[in-house]
Structure 1
C-alpha cells in the first residue's frame, strides 16, 4: 500500500509539473477556443508550440517518465503523421538516454513512389507497438495507426499522449457517453498512458501562485461539468 501511495504521489507530481511547463511554454492557453466537436472550450492545448530544442527535450522527458511509471511494455514506438513524428523521434532518443533503446517509425500521408516507396518510414513495424501522439480528440488517428500497424503484421499495443481532455467524444455530430481515451481502451483494446488529464489541470488551477491562472478555474470546471466523462 505504501508503494502504491508513493507511485500515486509521484504520478501526481509529474502531472502538475507537466501542466505548469505547458502553461509557462504557452502551449496550454486560456480564453475561448472552438474544438473539432464545435464546442467552445476555455482552454486549448497545442503541442505544435513545443517549437524549440529545449522545449522538445523537456517534453520528451515527461513522456519517458510517464511511460516508465506506467509499467506499459512495448517493443517500438510509432508516430502518426504529422505531430506524432517529432514526438516519436524525441521520445525514442530520451528512452535511449535512459537505457531503453527501442526502434521507432512513422508514416507519411502521401504515398511515395520512388526510393523505398510506401507510407512508412523508419524501423520495420514489428512486435508490440506504442503509438505516441499529443492529444486524442475522437480516436480517429489511433484507428488509422492501428490499421497501418496491423497491415504491417505488428501488434498495436498502447498509446501515450500528453493530455487527456476527459470529455465526451462525438459520433455523427452527437455527444456520446465515453471519451476518446475510454473508446480506445474499451473498444480498441489498447492501453493508454496520459502525462496529465483535465483533472490535473483543474488541480493546478486551484492554486494561487500569483500568476493569475486560478482565475480560469471556474470556467474550466464548468466546461468539465458540461462535457466531462
Structure 2
C-alpha cells in the first residue's frame, strides 16, 4: 500500500491530524513560541518564522504541549516500550509526555541522559527507566540528524533499539551538509537513512494553512498574520522539500 492509499484508507485520522496541527499552530503563536519576522537560522538562512519550544515554560503550557504530543503519538500508531528525552529540552518533554500517555491509559516509562557522566550515587549518564526494547525519542524540532544520531548511539549502547522519533514541528526544509543545501530534509534523513519512524504534531504546511486563514485572530491581528503568508510561502518555495 502506498502512502497515498493509506491516507485514503483513514480519512478520519487525517482530518483529526490536520485539525490538531492547526490548533497547535494557534497555541504556539499565542504562547509566543512561534513568531514571525526575520530570523537567521543555524544554516545561515533568513527565515520569516522562528519556533522556540523553550518558551513553553509554565505548567499550563507544558500540560497542553504534552497533550498534543501524546495525541500525535497515539494517532501515529507507533509502538514502543520506553520514551527517551535527549538532554536538555528532551528531558522535560519525555517526562510530560509519559505522564499524559499514562493519563490516557498507556504505560510509558521514560529515561533521559546527562551531558556528563555522574561518578557517584547510581553513576552513569542515564536517568530513569532502563532503556530496553523499542525506544521512542521525543524532541522539539530537528534541523539536522546530528542530535538524533547522538541519541541513537546512547540507546544502542544501553542495549536497546532506536525505533521512532516524535517532534513538535517538522520544518519541511532542506537540510545542510558541510555548509551546502541537500535535497532531503532532516526528517527525511531520519526516516530514510537512520530508519526511524517519525511523527510530528505540525509542519510548515500547517503553518501556511493557518496563516492563510487565522482561526482565532481577527481585525488587525488577522491582517498581521496573513501578511506573513507570502513570505513563509516564498521561503518554502526556496528551501522546502
Q: TM-score, normalised by structure 1?
A: 0.98
1:10 and 2:16 are equivalent in the alignment: yes
Q: TM-score, normalised by structure 2?
A: 0.93
Number of the residue aligned with 1:149: 155
* 3-state SS in 2 of match to 1:188: coil
Number of the residue aligned with 2:200: 194
Number of the residue aligned with 2:29: 23
Q: How many residues get paired?
A: 229
Number of the residue aligned with 1:111: 117
* 3-state SS in 2 of match to 1:125: coil
Distance in 1, matches of 2:82 and 2:91, equals 14
Distance in 2, matches of 1:49 and 1:112, equals 29
Number of the residue aligned with 1:207: 213
Structure 2 gaps of 5+ residues are 1-6
Number of the residue aligned with 2:137: 131
* 3-state SS in 2 of match to 1:189: coil
Number of the residue aligned with 2:4: none
Structure 1 gaps of 5+ residues are none
Superposition RMSD on alpha carbons, in Å?
A: 1.1
1:45 and 2:45 are equivalent in the alignment: no
Deviating 4+ runs (over 4 angstroms): none
What are the superposed Cα offsets for residues 139-164 of structure 1, whole Å, 9 maximum, x if unpaired? 11100000000011000000000000
What are the superposed Cα offsets for residues 5-55 of structure 1, whole Å, 9 maximum, x if unpaired? 111111100100000000011000011111111111110000000000000
Distance in 1, matches of 2:49 and 2:198, equals 22
Distance 1:42 1:2, change over 3 A: closer
Using the TM superposition, give the Cα deviation of residue 4 of structure 1 relative to its aligned residue in structure 2, in angstroms.
1.2
